[in-house]
Structure 1
Amino acid sequence: MKSILIICLIYVLMCSHADAQVCPDTATYKQARAVIQDMDRILAPTGIQEAYKTKIGGIDQWLNVRGQDKENPIILFIHGGPAAPLTPEIWQFQRPIEEYFTVVNWDQRGAGKTFGEVDPDSISDSIHIANYVDDAIEVAEHIRSKYHKNKIILMAHSWGTIIGLNAALKRPDLFYSYVGIGQVINTRDNERISFDYALEQAKAHKNTVAINELESIAPYPGDQPITRDRIITARKWAQFYGGLSAYRENSDYYFKAPLLSPDYDDSDRCAIDKGNMYTLGRILPEFLNVDLTGIHSFPIPVVMFMGRHDYTTPTMPTAIWLKKVKAPYKEGVWFERSSHMIPWEEPGKMLVSLLKYVRPLAADSTKRSN
């Protein structure tokens, strides 16, 4: 069975081998999940560990909340995709962060556990960026109220950065700061940079198969429509040469992580691919027109985590944008051994960077402008 798994906003990786599925279940997987579930239990009296659905944007949407101390600042982490929920992967990297923050992961409309809550036809007309932004704001308001916080930290990855950055612009009063990981600034620029990298690497490695496939869609994106098939061809080779996970030809550690997630049952795991495909067909035209280069000022502190080897959402446009934007506080942090998957690739540096650059902003939101 072929399945197309979409990560970080339509930056697509084609998985053509049958064992890439995340639906099958066995006794071995169940036993492994039981071990992970036991390890991940939060037992501290001050802690919080809960998963629940609540009305957001008129439909039931799922939240996963974890932290060792309720008094810690709250991070709302907006996942990538579209419809690539983070909840079934958090067991891989999030636990150390929970010592210093309470982390809320939200399955967006059309994604993961939320996808299973509604008849897909009933929300088909709502799959628009503006609605995701409004959902994020409503989730933030819910979190502030439920957990008695004045403000929260907004953090986003890949596709989620489009939602997060726009939510911060629309309701800056809700957030201490914004953290972008694999930030999307301009989709067409990203596509061009990623393609050029893939072709350069293919030629350097004398990979005739890759060269022929890439040259068949050149110039890319050019003036032709950016179709799903062209995206797959371009992204497949950029990711093969480490543009998704640095120094790796594939990212099975990520795509197969739901098999071991204690937070998802079998139907939730099967819904991941279904949600990907459902959302992709509806959001692609809007995504291809994303251009945030016209944003010259930002109302709250902004921190960008940038993978040096990221050719899924290439980092140079983000670095250029960050240098020019005016904000109360801004910081760009380079992850030298990472590509697009910073939380997985350099979890230690990510934690240290959150503590150094982000956590202080939750106590002091009046930093001087750079």
Structure 2
Amino acid sequence: MKIVWLGCLILALTSTHASAQQPADAAAYKKAKEVVRDLERIVAPSGIQESYKTGIGGIDQWLNVRGQDQANPIILFIHGGPASPLTPTIWQFQRPLEEYFTVVNWDQRGAGKTYGEAYGEADPQAIGDSIHIPRYVDDAIEVAEYVRKRYHKKKIILMGHSWGTVIGMSAALKRPDLFYAYVGIGQVISTRENERISFEYALQQAKAHDNAPALKELESIAPYPGDQPITRERIIVARKWPQFYGGLSAFRDTSTYYFDAPLLSPEYDEADIRAIDQGSLLTLDKILPEFVNVDFSNVHAFPIPVVMFMGRHDYTTPTSPTAAWLDQVRAPYKQGVWFEHSAHMIPWEEPGKTLVSLLKYVRPLAEGAN
């Protein structure tokens, strides 16, 4: 099976997600998962560890809340995909963040536990017609309002990754009163410009490595994106080779560590894992026509502090449009942070610098949170 991260979109191409396959030694995996579960337990009396569903946008949606001290500022972390929940991967990178922040991960409509096939909360066919960017934005705002009230916070920090930056930036623009700051990781500014840069990078690398199969596939869709529609078939080819040349995870041609992370997640059982691919198939075609038209380049004023984490080697959502946007935007505070050893997967690739950067540039913006 091959999974391709499509700019912000994950597409299951030919089979099930690798992490959904039955492991060869189920008992060993179960034992390993219990070790992770024990390590992940929040035992501090001041801490919080909750996973629950709540009504958001007319359906039940799942939240995961973790932190060592409830007095800390809250981060609402909006995942990518659009159906690629962070919850089954947070065991890989999030624990250090939990010492300084309470982190809320939300399985969006059509994603992970909220997909609902295993639980019955959200019939996939029933929510199919609601798979539109404005609905996701309104869901994010509703989640933010709910979290703020439940945990008695004046405001929260909003952070998005990949596809989640489309939702996050839109939510911040629509309801700035809810947020201390917005943090974009793998930010999308212009989908078409991202696609052009990513394709050019792949073509350059294929030529440099004399990769005839890659050149043949890339030239079959050239010029890309050009004036033609960005179809499912074209974007599959366009995403494949930049990722192979380290544009998803820097200096790696695969990202198995990420795609197989749910195998050891204490938060996800087998049905939840299967729902990752099922949600991807449900949402991809529905959201693609809207996603390819995303363009924030004409946003010249941002209402709240904005911080962009940019992977130097990111050719999944290339960083040059983000850096250019940040240079020209007017905001109460703005900061760009370059991650020299990362591509698109910054929290996984440079978790230490992720924490240090959040403490240096973001936590001070959450005034009155302590």
- Which TM-score applies when normalising by structure 2? 0.95
Question: Which residue matches 1:264?
Answer: 268
Q: 1: distance between equivalents of 2:251 and 2:2?
A: 24
Q: 2: distance between equivalents of 1:344 and 1:322?
A: 24
Closer, same or farther: CA 279–155 of 1 in aligned 2, 3 Å: same
Matched, 1:38 2:38: yes
Question: Which residue matches 1:112?
Answer: 112
Matched, 1:146 2:150: yes
Helix, strand or coil for the counterpart of 1:331? Answer: strand
Q: 2: distance between equivalents of 1:18 and 1:11?
A: 12
User: Which residue, 329, 332, 339 being the options, matches 1:328?
Assistant: 332
Q: 2: distance between equivalents of 1:360 and 1:119?
A: 42
The number of residues matched between the two structures is 363
Q: 1: distance between equivalents of 2:348 and 2:175?
A: 30
CA shift digits 1:58-108 (9 cap, x unpaired): 100000000000000000000000110000000000000000000000000
1:343 maps to amino acid: P
State the percentage of identical aligned residues: 72
**C-alpha deviation, 1:28, in angstroms:** 1.4
Helix, strand or coil for the counterpart of 2:296? Answer: coil
| Contact 1:6–1:84 (CA under 8 A) maintained in structure 2 | no
Question: Which residue matches 1:192?
Answer: 196
CA shift digits 1:311-352 (9 cap, x unpaired): 000000000000000000000000000000000000000000
| Contact 2:82–2:280 (CA under 8 A) maintained in structure 1 | yes
**Matches for 1:1-370 after TM superposition, within 5 Å:** 2=1, 4=3, 6=5, 9-10=8-9, 12=11, 20-25=18-23, 26-116=26-116, 117-363=121-367
CA shift digits 1:217-251 (9 cap, x unpaired): 10001122211111111111000000000000000
Closer, same or farther: CA 19–142 of 1 in aligned 2, 3 Å: closer
Q: 2: distance between equivalents of 1:153 and 1:207?
A: 44
CA shift digits 1:32-72 (9 cap, x unpaired): 10000000000000000000000000100000000000000
- Which TM-score applies when normalising by structure 1? 0.95
**C-alpha deviation, 1:23, in angstroms:** 4.0
2:103 maps to amino acid: V
2:51 maps to amino acid: A
| Contact 2:7–2:195 (CA under 8 A) maintained in structure 1 | no
Q: 2: distance between equivalents of 1:7 and 1:189?
A: 14
Helix, strand or coil for the counterpart of 2:103? Answer: strand
2:96 maps to amino acid: P
| Coordinate RMSD, CA, aligned | 1.5
| Contact 2:12–2:280 (CA under 8 A) maintained in structure 1 | no
Helix, strand or coil for the counterpart of 1:106? Answer: strand
1:67 maps to amino acid: G
Q: 2: distance between equivalents of 1:255 and 1:49?
A: 24
Unaligned runs of 5+ in 1: 366-370
| Contact 2:165–2:185 (CA under 8 A) maintained in structure 1 | yes
Closer, same or farther: CA 28–362 of 1 in aligned 2, 3 Å: same
2:9 maps to amino acid: I
Unaligned runs of 5+ in 2: none
Closer, same or farther: CA 264–5 of 1 in aligned 2, 3 Å: farther
Closer, same or farther: CA 8–50 of 1 in aligned 2, 3 Å: farther
Helix, strand or coil for the counterpart of 1:104? Answer: strand
| Contact 2:65–2:102 (CA under 8 A) maintained in structure 1 | yes
**C-alpha deviation, 1:21, in angstroms:** 4.1
